[in-house]
A and B are shown apart, each in its own frame.
Chain A
Amino acid sequence: MNFAFLFDNFFQLTITGLALGAIYGLVALGYTMVYGVLQLINFAHSEVFMFGTFAVVWVVVFIHGTTSANQSLGSSLGLLALALIAAMLTSAAIAMLLERVAYRPMIRRGASKLMILIAAIGASFSLAEIMGLRDRIAGWFGLEDKLANYVSQARNVYSSPVTIEPHGVFTFVNYKVTDIDLLVIGAALLMMFALDTFVRRTRLGRGIRAVAQDPESAALMGVNSTRIIQATFLIGGLMAGVAATLYMVRIGSTRQNAGFILGVKAFTAAVMGGIGNLRGALLGGLVLGVAQNWGAALFGANWQDVVAFVLLILILLVRPTGILGESIAKARV
């Protein structure tokens, strides 16, 4: 155990951990919203995120072309804004498609939660494979060559040609906090705040809480539960789109299975914070990201997941419902 290293580089490890955790948190919001309303773990949410990351690269390739370039964050804002819109739309569309194709027919026929869970896992595989076979899908329409920059080598790493160079903004103890760190953490907090306000203050938000609390009574009171469920998936998808854009700013590469590990982490974050709880999702993400970095510093990077999951178990031993514990239904008005 390397305590000296951890303490010497404490702030660097913490801030990069927070930036990583913020992305987990944003993806976790999607898991937690759907769980809060449907008590369903939407395993395919990781693929909703993955489609968002691809949308970001597609936009960059479409506008910028494929020549490799390094840009500062400031000079890429316009490009990133377009990428963000595309990622949010793509992720939201995939999330709603999932709801419509995979979940709604099953819920309508009264399928058990377990059956829907299996469907979620199946949908997750299908979406990842569709992305991994996109060259052949384009081939069916004869567009393989035309779209080569977008679909060729479908299973390989797909990287954004524009690398966003981080720039130090201010020095905190011995770490130069970068503009990308601030953007990622700030954006996650902002989205979290906006979503929390939305659920607590708006009419649709009240509907979401009503369906989460008691779908039958909500239906009797005139709440259209199908629409509410749709809205839940839509919001989860939009958040995943934001997460995908921030992820691509930090990491810059994706592939058809990029959602898997991140999805597991985000789901862990949701459980850690208290699944069904919006603030808990972000908190869980941040705690997980930091714990992972500290664990990697202490024991080596191959132990970071062990540390994260041991922490999860410890938290659940003390607080079985997660750190914040309450569900979306009980969010105070």
Chain B
Amino acid sequence: MGTKHNLRILGAVAAAGLALSACGSTTSSSASAGSSSNCTSGQNLAFLGATTGDYGALGQNMVGGIKLALDDYNTKNPDCKVGVKVFDSQGDPDKATPLATQIVGDSSIVGLVGPGFSGESLATGKTFEAAGLPVISPSATNVTITQQGWTTWHRVIGNDSAQGAAAASYILGTVKSTKPFVIDDGSDYGKGLASYVKKGLGSKFDSANSDTVQTGQTDFSATVTKVTASKADAVFYGGYYAEAGLLVKQLRQAGYKGLFMSGDGSEDPAFVKAAGAQAANGAILTAPAGPAPADFDSKYQSVNNSPSGLYSTQAYDAANIFLAGLDAGKSSHADMNTFVGAYSGDGVSGPIAFDKFGDIKESVIFAYTVKNGKLDTANPTPIS
């Protein structure tokens, strides 16, 4: 009988695993009642993005950044604590759409940090616009999002067109490549970024020297064969670190000697781990963000018990803009939106101010290098 009982428990653990994976909202730290005069109690920020599923790691980096910002704020304002409600879309536009309706229906939410990805941003922007809810995305960089005419949508990260142009000028100017090869992962982000790199490369780019892989793919042998057969001297990859790491590893193992370059989606320590130190060395990763202050990671670790990652600083900055708005007593959506639109300040990811489309005004693109088996996050070179 004992074994039977134990198996039931195992079954329950399995069921709990399922329940935890189900998407929906979870309040991580609920706001407590405030007593100060200009404090509305129980206010929350919302996060919309992937915290489970294939891209869960990215969303968790962002939630960590928000939690750090809230931790700072709540320590300073113990009488008026703000919480965060996490809405897990798993990065899927179809799952994000109903969650967006939930978010605009929740009157305790003063602003949304997110959506995480470009695809879900395009799917949900209209809902937030209709409700007037201010939105600041830490990571959605697809160019077309800010061309939709939405007045509540902002992002604290430079878009793909600026980054693609900078990457192309690095490939042509600094590396002096004569035969660049461009690969993307077919996602709204990767394809968009790669298309701006191709545009920037102009006549140096031959359309035969490109390929599209799939997210989640782990074996790139056909693409690797294409690159080595083309005798390319530079490879740009538009996509995320998981695939980028494996791609550069397999390229190097097949004897590819040229430059490997990728965008902000690959600028994560896991890129080096997936590639292995030897294959990752010399890789250049561009990102529309400067280095985080030296103490950011240790502060982040003390709140989240895990190291910060890609988009943590941007999410931290986005949350801080809303918190500054709350400090200034902006509680209605319209007031908060005006406040965000006119915001100007220095975040940990760089100076922040928005243009009339919601794009960040000043975005310097930096090139980060992998050296001695480590992504050198402290000393990037700005690309002009």
Chain A residues close to B by CB (< 8 Å): 2, 5, 8-9, 12-13, 16-17, 19-20, 68-70, 97, 100-102, 122-123, 125-127, 129-130, 132-133, 135, 144, 152-153, 155-157, 159, 161, 163, 165-166, 250-253, 255, 257-258, 260-262, 292-293, 296-297, 300-302, 304-305
B197 close to A (CB within 8 Å): no
CB distance from A71 to the nearest CB of B (A): 10
B7 close to A (CB within 8 Å): yes
Are B214 and A293 touching (Cβ within 8 A)? no
A residues within 8 A CB of B363? none
Are A155 and B60 touching (Cβ within 8 A)? yes
Known A-B contacts A152-B306, A255-B242; A97 and B218 likewise in contact (beta carbons under 8 Å):
no
Chain A, residue nearest B229 (CB):
A9
B305 close to A (CB within 8 Å): yes
Residue of A68, A260, A301 near B223 (CB, 8 A) is: A301
- Which residue among B10, B274, B279 has the maximum number of chain A CB atoms within 10 Å of its CB? B274
Are B17 and A8 touching (Cβ within 8 A)? no
Given contacts A129-B20, A163-B279, A296-B222, 14 further A-B contacts (CB under 8 A): A13-B225, A16-B219, A68-B273, A68-B278, A156-B270, A157-B274, A159-B276, A293-B222, A300-B211, A300-B212, A301-B212, A301-B214, A301-B223, A302-B212
Are A157 and B273 touching (Cβ within 8 A)? yes
* Interface 9-mer from B30-38, B49-57, B68-76, B94-102: B49-57
B residues within 8 A CB of A100? 7
A residues within 8 A CB of B216? 257, 260-261
* Interface 9-mer from B245-253, B288-296, B322-330, B332-340: B245-253
CB distance from B134 to the nearest CB of A (A): 29
A residues within 8 A CB of B246? 251-253
Are B270 and A157 touching (Cβ within 8 A)? yes
B13 close to A (CB within 8 Å): yes
CB distance from B333 to the nearest CB of A (A): 32
Tally inter-chain residue pairs, CB-CB below 8 A: 144
Instruction: Give Cα distance in the complex from A144 to B13, angstroms.
Output: 18
Instruction: Give Cα distance in the complex from A161 to B274, angstroms.
Output: 9
Residue of A17, A70, A156 near B278 (CB, 8 A) is: A70
- Which residue among B54, B245, B273, B373 has the maximum number of chain A CB atoms within 10 Å of its CB? B273
Are B18 and A126 touching (Cβ within 8 A)? yes
B366 close to A (CB within 8 Å): no
Main secondary structure of the interface of B (DSSP, over half): helix
CB distance from B101 to the nearest CB of A (A): 25
B residues within 8 A CB of A16? 219, 221-222, 225
Main secondary structure of the interface of A (DSSP, over half): helix
Chain A, residue nearest B213 (CB):
A301
Are A12 and B274 touching (Cβ within 8 A)? no
Are B17 and A126 touching (Cβ within 8 A)? yes
CB within 8 Å of A: which of B240-267? 241-242, 245-246, 249, 253
B residues within 8 A CB of A130? 13-14, 17
Instruction: Give Cα distance in the complex from A301 to B60, angstroms.
Output: 30
CB distance from B364 to the nearest CB of A (A): 28
A residues within 8 A CB of B213? 301-302
20 contacts between A and B (CB under 8 A): A9-B225, A16-B222, A20-B219, A101-B7, A101-B14, A126-B14, A126-B18, A130-B17, A133-B17, A156-B57, A157-B241, A159-B273, A159-B276, A261-B217, A297-B222, A301-B220, A301-B222, A301-B223, A302-B186, A302-B214
B residues within 8 A CB of A159? 245, 270, 273-274, 276
Are B276 and A163 touching (Cβ within 8 A)? yes
Are A257 and B53 touching (Cβ within 8 A)? yes
B residues within 8 A CB of A156? 57, 270, 309
* Shortest 4 CB-CB contacts between residues of A and residues of B: A296-B222, A16-B221, A163-B276, A68-B277
B226 close to A (CB within 8 Å): yes
B residues within 8 A CB of A97? 10
B131 close to A (CB within 8 Å): no
B15 close to A (CB within 8 Å): yes
CB distance from A61 to the nearest CB of B (A): 11
Chain A, residue nearest B223 (CB):
A301
Residue of A133, A166, A293 near B20 (CB, 8 A) is: A133
Known A-B contacts A5-B229, A129-B17, A152-B306; A165 and B214 likewise in contact (beta carbons under 8 Å):
no
A residues within 8 A CB of B211? 300-302
B11 close to A (CB within 8 Å): yes
Chain B, residue nearest A155 (CB):
B56
B379 close to A (CB within 8 Å): no
Instruction: Give Cα distance in the complex from A20 to B221, angstroms.
Output: 9
